[in-house]
Amino acid sequence: MLTDAYSQGLLTAFFARERRPTGVMIQVSAKCNLGCVMCGYVGRTPNVGFMEPSLFAHILEECRSFGVDRIYTETAWGEPMLHPKIFDLLELARDFKIVLSTNITPLNARRIDRLAEFNLDTLQLSFCGYDRESYEATYVGAKFDHVVENLHLIHRVFAERSSDTTIIVNGVALHNDLNFVARTVAFLRSIGFRDDQMEIKLPNNYGGLYTGGSGDTLHGIHTFKNLRDQPLEICSVLLDNPGIYVDGRVTACGCLDNSSALIIGDIRTEGLRAMRFGLLKLEDHVPVGVVGVVVKEIDLLAVAA
């Protein structure tokens, strides 16, 4: 049984809200236009398909009925802005707090203006680097000059027209290279982004799909994190944020479960509430088993989250 204060606090909150998710992560696009070096999606899972608007609308109704008011679109499972009807989907979700993630490449001035109309809760921008070489070596297929032009536009347009939207530049550094991080931060500052708008992390291992990190023999996984002497703790995403794939299947972990290891149902035939109450049986002893799965499959120790 997990007895640490952090895990127990998460479990207490989980049961107090009657297992209601704090937000639902939705794979509106199963396609991505890049081949990022650190990604566990492209080249390792099917890279095709878009969610039907009717299914998206159904998911929103399920969220409303369960009191969920926040949705996330997923870049870990595909690029949302490639969906040919992305703005129609956002229109359907006007009454939700929307967290939209994008690799920035499908944007242009018109599309950025349009995004600013939706008063997004959060706009997450996937970017790391400080020049063409440092950026394009990681975000394979992207064009540095185009992306930087979009970053300038986003900074200006959202400051003027959607100032309540939280902007986060979410970067991944392949190595624990402090000089690389410092130069990236300086570059983003030169565009106008504040330090509290930047998050630069080491890669995740995407449930073992990405094995670029050195092996951790203690836990038997590939990881970029130093897990030695770190205690096992339950992952907040596992309790807070289920994910719904483009075809309607639901995973307990809406964050990095590209391998569909934690499927708990199908939103097309089952209700979100029913799935959550059938989920994991956490009251007694299963948290230990669940965390064992998560550590093995998704590299989500608290230190790695």
For the segment 107-141, what is each residue's pLDDT rounded down to a tens digit?
999 999 999 999 999 999 999 999 999 999 999 99
Strand duo 249-251 + 263-266: pairing: antiparallel
pTM, whole model, 2 decimals? 0.86
Residue 276: CB atoms within 10 A of its CB come to: 21
Strand order in the sheet with 97-102: 198-201, 166-172, 122-126, 97-102, 70-73, 24-26, 243-244, 249-251, 263-266
The whole-number pLDDT of residue 63 equals: 97
- Low-confidence stretches of the chain (pLDDT < 70) are 1-3, 40-47, 75, 205-227, 230, 232, 279-305
Is the CB of residue 223 less than 8 Å from the CB of residue 202? no
Cβ-based burial of 128 (10 A; exposed 0-12, middle 13-18, buried ≥19):
buried
Is the CB of residue 141 less than 8 Å from the CB of residue 33? yes
CA 153 to chain centre: 23
Pairwise CA distance, residues 93 & 91, whole Å:
5
Cβ-based burial of 232 (10 A; exposed 0-12, middle 13-18, buried ≥19):
middle
The whole-number pLDDT of residue 77 equals: 81
Chain position carrying tokens 């790695």: 304
SS3 64: helix
Q: Containing H/E element for 106?
A: none
The whole-number pLDDT of residue 75 equals: 66
Pairwise CA distance, residues 263 & 259, whole Å:
10
The whole-number pLDDT of residue 297 equals: 34
The whole-number pLDDT of residue 27 equals: 94
